[in-house]
Chains A and B, each alone.
Chain A
Amino acid sequence: MTRRALYTAWAALIALSLGSTALSLSAVWAVGPIVAGVAVLLLAWWKARIILSQYLELATAPEWQRGFDVALAALCLLLLGLYLMPQVL
């Protein structure tokens, strides 16, 4: 991994974290809690993916990275399903 890729990963993680915190402080939850919940978990999945691929250097092992991407996506989808359950039932 190059130094530039590391700086880019850090900047992306900061931007995504500020985005999810700003979202939590906004009024969007009162208007569209489902969209806000999907956005927050999507941002979490994206951040986890960057940590795995850049900080933990899984980008050098694409097959493993795909496996971790799928497992993390499954976890986030399960979390989303449980979050949405009371709102759709």
Chain B
Amino acid sequence: MSEKSAFEDLPGELLMWILIISEVAVFGAGLLVFLAVRAIDVAGFAEAQDMLNRTAAGINTVILITSGFLAALAMQLRKAGQRGKARMALFGASGLGVAFLWIKIAEYADKAALGIVWDTHAFFNFYYMLTGFHAAHVAAGVVLLLLVSWRDSPSNIEDATMFWHMVDLVWVLLFPVIYLLQ
């Protein structure tokens, strides 16, 4: 009689979970270093952070969370055999991903107009590195969601939506540390 592996309890692909844990570990390490460097220049980091648009970042959080909801809904709909509705939900999720990127690009353009670049202050090193790396994941996720709305097997949609939830998960940790902790 074969014993049941603990990994069998995990919903979705094991490889996707390895990716999720790796990504959260990488971003988590980046955030820890960010706060460690902040500890030696609290005033400088506070001054730099005040130049960020917290409201726009808050709106982006709502956009990404809603996009994650549509991705999870797409998975449920596809499992129920409602392929057309699942595709619509995936289009909605990817459209909101594009909206997130549009706001992020506007945020970067505002900073550039003020003459703020990555080496203006240590804060902006981390700001551009962490939010830029995250935005690259959002762009990849948008492409994945569009791909699986075309090749819409349940396993394809599951993998793409797990990737998208990882992007969501990283953002809810990154947003408060970079934008909110004062």
Contacts and interface: CB of A to CB of B under 8 A. Distances in A.
Interface of A: 1, 3, 6-7, 9-10, 13-14, 17-18, 20-21, 23-25, 29, 33, 36-37, 40-41, 43-44, 47-48, 51-52, 54-58, 60-61, 63-64, 75, 78-79, 82-83, 85-86
Interface string B52-80: 00110110011001101101110010000
Interface of B: 6, 9-12, 20, 24, 28, 31-32, 35-36, 38-39, 42, 54-55, 57-58, 61-62, 65-66, 68-69, 71-73, 76, 162, 165, 168-169, 172-173, 175-177, 179-182
A86 B37 CA distance: 11
B72 A6 contact: yes
Contact of B58 (A9, A17, A75): A17
Contact of A17 (B42, B62, B76, B182): B62
B168 A55 contact: yes
A7 B46 CA distance: 36
Contact of B12 (A40, A44, A56): A56
A10 B66 contact: yes
A20 B66 CA distance: 17
B170 to A, nearest CB: 9
Contact of A64 (B10, B32, B65, B162): B10
Contacts of A52: 169
**List of 6 A-B pairs having minimum Cβ-Cβ separation, nearest first:** A21-B58, A82-B35, A10-B69, A57-B11, A24-B180, A61-B9
Contacts of A1: 72, 76
Contact of B32 (A54, A58, A60, A82): A82
A29 B182 contact: yes
A18 B76 contact: no
Contact of A40 (B28, B66, B176): B176
Contacts of B66: 10, 14
B173 to A, nearest CB: 6
Of residues A41, A44, A56, which shows the largest number of chain B Cβ atoms within 10 Å of its Cβ?
Answer: A56
A9 B181 CA distance: 25
Contacts of B162: 56
Contact of B181 (A40, A48, A60, A85): A40
Contacts of A61: 9-11
11 contacts: A3-B76, A7-B69, A14-B66, A20-B176, A24-B179, A48-B169, A51-B169, A54-B72, A55-B71, A79-B35, A83-B35
